Amino acid sequence: MKFSSTWMIALRALRRNLMRSGLTMLGIIIGVAAVIAMVAIGTGAKEQVASSIAQIGQNTVLVMSGAGSRGGVRGGWGSSPTLTRQDYEAIRKEIPGVIRATPDVRKNAQVMAGNQNVNTTINGAGEDYVDIRAWDFADGVNFSSADVKAATKVAILGNTVATNLFGDASPVGQIVRIQNAPYTVVGLLKPKGMSMMGSDQDDVVLVPWSSALVRLTGTDSFRSITVQAESAEQVEQMMEDIGALLRQRHRLREGAEDDFHVHSQQEIMEMATSTAKTMTILLGAIAGVSLLVGGIGIMNIMLVSVTERTREIGVRMAVGARGGDILLQFLVEAVVLSVGGGLIGIGLGVGVAKIVSAKVGWNTLVSPESVALAFAFSAAIGIFFGFYPARKAAGLDPIEALRYE
């Protein structure tokens, strides 16, 4: 029997039970859509993480201050003030290959301008901060090394802070008060959007780190120091040099634990993307279970169909149909159900991913590989779960089939 004839017979059989066919496809539709959507969310998250970490700067080394403890509970890196301005200056002067460096002093504080006020993050940084992070200016200029040395009261506003305080007007040249100290706005940063942790990167005010230490924190220590190397090849050696320098400066005995932590940008990216990749695989696996359940549904319905159509199978065999023709017919029916459900599921999954991105604000990425894999998997499910019912139908005895009531 020609394949075209088998194809038409299979389609007619499915059309006779449209409701059953539709409900059978539903399991595959939901399964494929879930896989596409979950993988898109996971892949988008991984890309967002990589993009956010890249904003730290190229060829960078992050030096975190120590991990303190309170009440016997150990805190995270940066919770104990072990990095000083002398450490920062030593790193700039004594470590080979350093082209830029900036400390990080942070504090939440109220910023006022006229009758407007906002609570935001004050980031005490060096003149290299915006260059390391490749952060462009929408208006104004960066503060200078002279401003840092003199602890000048100048500030650079993030887009969110500027909008909340000044609306659409340029803040450059205006006065803002940070903890009642007047700061002159010298620059406005271009928007960067949300970070990988969901925080607004534009909700920030940059001031010289020296000014932050004197007027805002009242300390002489930094949360972290970011160092930028000339090339990626120098990063590993730079990490070793920084570690040796800080151990010497902090007078740590041989075998004693470091009271600081040194990370490269690449290490941070690998750790973060590895976590995101694991979550993507987990989400895809959970969604894949529903696809597997859809395949079991196809096998169940096809077995019921074989039982209901036993006499039809007997008649076809009596008029010359071979076992291979019967097997192919039922296999085609199973594949049509799974592939049809797969195509609809792909469209639904892509739509769900776009809706999540638009309504929830999550970054989603539908890759051609995930679409191709979901489609191939749905077709494979049709063949795998349709083969047993098809073989059972092909193995029926024609005489017994004709006698079946």
- Looking at residue 77, its pLDDT comes to 46
Higher pLDDT, 129 or 52: 129
Pick the range with the lowest mean pLDDT from 156-165, 203-212, 343-352, 366-375.
366-375
Q: What is the residue-averaged pLDDT of the chain? A: 82
Q: What is the mean pLDDT of residues 375-381?
A: 84
Kindly tell me if the per-residue pLDDT of 91 is higher than 60: yes
When pLDDT is averaged across residues 294-312 and rounded to a whole number, the result is 79
What pLDDT band is residue 123 in, cutting at 50, 70 and 90? very high
Q: Mean pLDDT throughout 182-192? A: 93
Q: Which residue has the higher pLDDT, 318 or 226?
A: 226
When pLDDT is cut at 50, 70 and 90, the band that residue 2 belongs to is low
Question: Distance (Å, rounded) from C-alpha 323 to C-alpha 162?
Answer: 77
pLDDT-derived band at 78 (thresholds 50, 70, 90) equals very low
Q: From CA 387, how far away is CA 54, in angstroms rounded?
A: 50
**What's the CA gap between 104 and 223, in Å, rounded?**
6
Distance CA 187, CA 143 (A): 8
pLDDT at residue 69 is higher than 50: no
Confidence of residue 80 (pLDDT cuts 50, 70, 90): low
Q: Confidence band (pLDDT; 50, 70, 90) for 74?
A: very low
Round to the nearest angstrom and report the end-to-end CA distance of the chain. 27
Structure tokens belonging to residue 16: 């006779």
- Beta strands per DSSP E along 39-174: 60-65, 67-70, 73-77, 83-84, 98-113, 116-125, 137-140, 154-157
Q: Could you report the per-residue pLDDT of 207-216, keeping only the tens digit for each?
A: 999 999 988 8
What is each CA distance from 371 to 35, 39, 218, 376, in whole angstroms?
Answer: 9, 10, 56, 9
Structure confidence by residue, pLDDT tens digits, 126-160? 999 998 888 899 999 999 999 999 999 999 999 99
Phi, psi of 201 (to 5 degrees): -70, -20
Does residue 281 or residue 371 have the better pLDDT? 371
Predicted local distance difference test score (pLDDT) of residue 75: 45
Q: How big is the chain by its Cα radius of gyration, in Å? A: 32
Evaluate if residue 82 carries a pLDDT over 90: no
H/E stretch holding 330 reads: helix 323-359
- Return the DSSP state at 251: T
Task: List, in order, residues 6 or more apart from 100 with CB less than 8 Å away.
Answer: 128, 131, 132, 227, 228
pLDDT at 56: 60
Report d(CA 143, CA 209) in Å as an integer. Answer: 11
pLDDT for residue 3:
57
